[in-house]
Every structure is written in structure tokens, then in C-alpha cells.
Amino acid sequence: MVVSIPIRIQYILTLQLFLDWIGITMLFHWTNVFFILTGIIFAGFFFVFGISSLIEKEMRAANISFVLAVVSAVLFSTAFLLPVEGRSILAYVLFAVVLISVILFFLPFKTIVQPDAKPGKRVDERDIMFARARLQPGSAAYEDYYQTKPETKIRDDLFRKEPGLLNEKARFYDPILFSTSKGGFFLTEALRDTVDGAVAGSKVDTSNMDLSSYMKSLARYMGAIHVGIAKTKPYHYYSHIGRGTGVYGDEIKIEHKYALVFSVEMDYEMIGANPLAPGVVESAREYIEAAKIAVVIAATIREMGYEARAHIDGNYRVIAPLIARDAGLGEIGRMGLLITPNLGPRVRLGVVTTNLPLKIDDRNLDPSVIDFCNICRKCASGCPTQAISFEARQDIDGALRWKLDSDRCFKYWVQCGTDCGRCMTICPYAHKDNYLHKGIRWGIKKSWLFRRFALNMDDFFYGKKPSRRTPPKWMCSIQHKIR
């Protein structure tokens, strides 16, 4: 009996025999497909990461990424040389590693972080280094302060012997960039008298308006990145005036119940050269931006018939990071700066306090930031003066925080002539806000194990003590002057 095979099946069998004869069938074995796809994913990821690092001027990370891209392509290609059994075993092992990693990532390891207690007392602005540095020897304020705080006089007088911020005798002096910074701070200082003013005689009817949303949108429209609203607490305010407008030493009375706080982004490329002069140019610029937004919003509120005061560089009545934290903008990290969700500490803050009723934003403690700062210590190891503590958080004046030696930090500033910012630059949270780093930040937030992995990878790609990045191209004409 003769069995008739359909023409279509005959074609398929003939093609199969032909492919077997030339050896192409083996190419499509499932292990080969697995290694091809895996190799493309690994090599492609490292290649894209390398391009991104080049754009960010992170040369170490770029070089390592390109090498890993080539190594990945070579390793997964050599898998074809193994026998089928060997390829299968290796594929199963790799698949198991990936599966276990995914499972561990999503396992609910609870991060136990002790909530930070609210400060039990207010900070006297006269005690902070910036206020003490402004005291003029021989003045009444100078004599009065050191009569009550004689333990700081010897140390402070030594600071005054250093060149000072933006001084031509400072270590990182640059005549052009220091002049540019002075120009920026000149404008901020000129705005210090505009933080408050007369209130319109009649109030605008706001009963049917969502002014909280409007004020946030106004801040973003003017350039703010993160915006939040908090109800003011006593510990948000300094206790006495130490600088800015008003009478030195006067008690600061708490009059406004609400605070709108916002951040502005510091340029990644500019601060990459910290602690050199380009960084202080960017500091001056962002203090201007924060002051501009705060002054306009405060004036807007006063025109609506409600009291409002802007708090800007050199003329604060509040401690901006504390209000920003309580408004839900981030957590205060090891370096004492606010760590925001997508820019880390690479921000400057502005605040407007007011009696205009606003809707308060809830603050949700983010244990992932505290946990990451606990294990990282990168800012501490990279600090030129070791002013940042390597230890765990401590109860200081009723608040749980990392201890910062602000005097040691400021001494470096007045020696170098810049506001340093090295800790801000090398913080892993401060990387560019692109899709790659967004993904890493998401993993850090979600997984206890991924935080450990991400820290090791940050050290591997960028170094435990990352190198300074080159400033923008438009500064290249004065590069020879940047020491």
C-alpha cells in the first residue's frame, strides 16, 4: 500500500533535510536563542550605559561599561562552542541566577529605621558658622556674642585669618569665575530687602479656589522642581536673628502657620568640578533662582491680602531642610542636606511662609534613603576635611541625625574660597535624572538587597572617591586658570 504525502509536507521535510545537511538547524536550538538574546541584552545595556556616562563626562564609568559590553558579547558568543549538554546546563544556571535575583528583589525584607524625633528646641541663628563669620571684631554684636559664647572665639578668630570665600588669596582662586560668583551673590544680596512688604488692604475671595495647587504650579512654572506645603512648627524657625534683615539678636516670633517650600536643580555638569570655582558659580546662580521664585510668590500672596515672607540666601528665618523634609520633599541624609527623590542633594531650597490657608502635604518617612545613607558613607569618605560622620545617627538636641562638624567644613571653605559641595557631587543619589538612573533609584527604594548591590556597583563604576568632572565647554577658555 502506497501512502500519499501532501505536497506541502514534502516541501517541509525536504527543507528540514537540507537544513540538517548544512548544519543550520543547530543554530536555532533553544540554548543558542537564549544566549543570543541574553548577550544582546547584556552587551546592549552596557553599551547604552557607556554612552550615557560619556554624556555625563563620567569617563571611568564609560570605559568600564564599553569593556563590559565587549566582554559580554564575547562570552555569550563563545557559548556556541560548547556541546549541547554544556550549553543547556549553563543556560539553566544563568536562568536560575536571574530567577533567584528577581525573587530576592521582591521579597519583603522590611527596612527597620528608627523615626527621626522632632527637635526639642529651636536653633539660635547666631550660633551657626555663617552668622559668626559675619561678626566684625570691635563691633557691639561681636563683643556681646563672645561674652556669652567665649568657647567659640579662639576658633572663630582663626577662621578670620583665612583668605575667605571668593578671596583672591584662596587656594582655588580664579579671577573670572570668582568675579562671576560675586556677581551672582550681589543680586541675591540685593533681593534681601524684598522678602517682605506691605499687605494689600483687602483680601481676595479664595473660598472657591484651590490656591495650594495654584501656588505649587506657579512655583514650577517659575523653575522649581519639587514643591510641598507644611504646617510650620516651632523647630522650623530660628530662635533669634543672626543675619539678614532685622535687628541682630532679636527674638524671632512665629507668625505664619504655613510654609510653601521648593527646590531648584543645580546643574550636574557645573557642580561636577566641585570643590573648584565652577561649582560656586552654580551655587550663586541657583540661590538667585530660589530667591526669585520665593520673592515673587511671597509678593503675590501679599497682593492677595495675606501676610507672606520669602526666605532666601543670607536672609532666612527658618531652617529650610527641616521644612522641606516635613513637606514631603525628601529625607535629610548623612551630609546634612536634603535628599530629594530624583536629584538627591543636587538642589537649593527656597521657602515662603504665610498665613494664607494652604493644604498641607503629608510627610511619608522613606526608610530606603536612611538605610542607604547608613551603608553608603561615600560623602564621608570623599569629604576633603572629614567633616561628615562615619557613625550612625545620634540624638543631638532632641533630634536623630548624623553629626556634621560644620566648623571644620567652613574652615575648608574659607581656605579654598568656594563652598566646596564635594559631598553633593559624589552622592549616588545625585546622578543625572535619566531613565537609567531612574531605574536604579526605583530599585533602591523598593529592595533592601538591591540597595547593597547598587552601592557596590556605584563604587565599581564611579569609584569610592570619584574623580572631578570637567566643567562645561564654554569655560574651556579659562581652563588653564583652574588649579
Q: Given this model, what pLDDT does residue 87 score?
A: 76
Do both 173 and 237 map to the same domain? yes
Per-residue pLDDT tens over the stretch 334-352: 999 999 999 999 999 999 9
Q: Check residues 457 and 36 and name the one with the higher pLDDT.
A: 457
pLDDT at 473 over 50: yes
Q: Is the dihedral of CA 331, 264, 197, 207 positive or negative?
A: negative
Q: What Å distances lie between residue 357 and 132, 200, 213, 219, 304, CA to CA?
A: 36, 16, 12, 17, 12
Cβ-based neighbour number of residue 203 at 10 Å: 11
Domain span at 227: 129-481
CA–CA distance, 163 with 46 (Å, rounded to integer):
46
Collapse the DSSP code of 310 into the 3-class scheme (helix H, G, I; strand E, B; otherwise coil) and give the result: strand
Q: Is position 218 within any domain?
A: yes
Cell numbers for 432:
543625572
Q: 155: Cβ–Cβ under 8 A, 6 or more apart, which residues?
A: 407
Cell numbers for 413:
571653605
Domain-terminating residue out of 73, 106, 139: 106
Cell numbers for 174:
580664579
Domain-terminating residue out of 106, 140, 161: 106
Do both 90 and 143 map to the same domain? no
Looking at residues 233-243, what average pLDDT do you find? 95
Do both 234 and 287 map to the same domain? yes
Which residue do the cell numbers 583668605 mark? 163
Averaged pLDDT of the chain:
89
Cell numbers for 433:
535624572
Question: What percentage of the chain exceeds 90 in pLDDT?
Answer: 69
Cell numbers for 360:
498641607
Q: What angle do CA 80, 86, 89 make, to 5 degrees?
A: 115
pLDDT at 76 over 50: yes
Q: Is position 290 within any domain?
A: yes
Q: Which of 105, 349, 372, 339 is nearest to 224 (CA)?
A: 349
Q: Is position 114 within any domain?
A: no
Per-residue pLDDT tens over the stretch 388-426: 999 999 888 778 889 899 999 999 999 999 999 999 999
Confidence of residue 81 (pLDDT cuts 50, 70, 90): confident
Element (H, E) at 313: none
Do both 197 and 286 map to the same domain? yes
Do both 353 and 393 map to the same domain? yes
Do both 140 and 99 map to the same domain? no
Per-residue pLDDT tens over the stretch 156-204: 998 899 999 999 999 999 999 999 999 999 999 999 999 999 999 899 8
Q: Is position 425 within any domain?
A: yes
Confidence of residue 107 (pLDDT cuts 50, 70, 90): confident
Do both 91 and 133 map to the same domain? no
Q: Is position 117 within any domain?
A: no
Confidence of residue 280 (pLDDT cuts 50, 70, 90): very high
Query: What b/e string do you get for 138-177 counting C-beta neighbours within 10 Å, with b at 16 or more?
Result: eeebbeebbeeeeebeeebeebeebebbbeeebebbbeeb
Collapse the DSSP code of 355 into the 3-class scheme (helix H, G, I; strand E, B; otherwise coil) and give the result: coil
Cβ-based neighbour number of residue 231 at 10 Å: 14
How many domains in the chain?
Answer: 2
Do both 73 and 195 map to the same domain? no
* Beta strand spans in 271-316 (E): 308-311
Do both 229 and 139 map to the same domain? yes
CA–CA distance, 312 with 289 (Å, rounded to integer):
10
Do both 185 and 297 map to the same domain? yes
Cell numbers for 361:
502635604
Confidence of residue 99 (pLDDT cuts 50, 70, 90): confident
pLDDT at 480 over 50: no
Bridge-based pairing of strands 227-231 and 347-354 is: unpaired
Q: Given this model, what pLDDT does residue 206 score?
A: 81
Do both 36 and 143 map to the same domain? no
Ramachandran angles phi, psi of 171, nearest 5°: -60, -40
CA–CA distance, 55 with 63 (Å, rounded to integer):
12
Q: Which of 427, 435, 433, 434 is nearest to 466 (CA)?
A: 427
Q: Is position 1 within any domain?
A: no
Q: Which of 399, 373, 261 is nearest to 328 (CA)?
A: 261
Q: Is position 266 within any domain?
A: yes
Nearest-Å Rg of the Cα atoms of the chain is 29
Do both 466 and 387 map to the same domain? yes
Q: Which of 266, 263, 310, 262 is nearest to 284 (CA)?
A: 266
Q: Is position 2 within any domain?
A: no
Looking at residues 316-334, what average pLDDT do you find? 95
* Lowest-confidence pick of 14-18, 40-44, 207-211, 275-279: 14-18
pLDDT at 286 over 90: yes
Listed in sequence order, the DSSP H helices in 79-152 are: 84-106, 129-134, 140-148
Q: Given this model, what pLDDT does residue 475 score?
A: 79
Per-residue pLDDT tens over the stretch 291-321: 999 999 999 999 999 999 999 999 999 999 9
